[in-house]
Amino acid sequence: MTIAQMQVVLASIGLKKPFKPIWDNDFEMIAIKTREPATYIFGRLHGTEIVLENDFFRVWTSRKLKAASLARARSYKVRLWDGEAELWVPAVNGDEILPLFGAVVKKELSPERMEALKAGMRSLNARISRSTHGKNAVPATLPLKTAPEPM
């Protein structure tokens, strides 16, 4: 599934923010890219994974207290384990809840801002090329290594 197709699916369930979707080939489901992906470090979960399941987003996170307080305040279903939580968020509430857990929203840049960024990169590249121009990064000849004398 392409990114454009996944964004159409996300828009069709009622999301207004342009989240960055990821297609998971193993499980054939749409995931949302997060700032800190879910990984295990020394047997503990760090980060967050957000997956679309039917009309709910399953948020699997190490932010157990945040998940518990949101579930209590909004009557969401939650499973709490030692150091991790699994929270089910209705898709219609995804726009306001998913960014709290680090969901990445695609930013649209104006043409003026894009041109300013490109100009900055061009000037940086020019400074780098001027600073190394005419200088040998590696000496032409290296000193000969002598073998140790046999005993």
Q: Which CATH code is given to the segment(s) 3-101?
A: 3.90.1150
C-alpha–C-alpha distance, residues 59 and 67, integer Å: 9
pTM to 2 decimal places: 0.70
pLDDT tens by residue, the chain, 151 residues: 888 898 889 889 889 999 999 998 887 899 999 999 999 999 899 999 999 998 899 999 999 999 999 999 999 999 999 889 999 999 999 999 999 999 998 888 899 999 999 999 999 888 888 776 655 555 555 566 666 677 6
Where are the domains positioned within the chain?
3-101
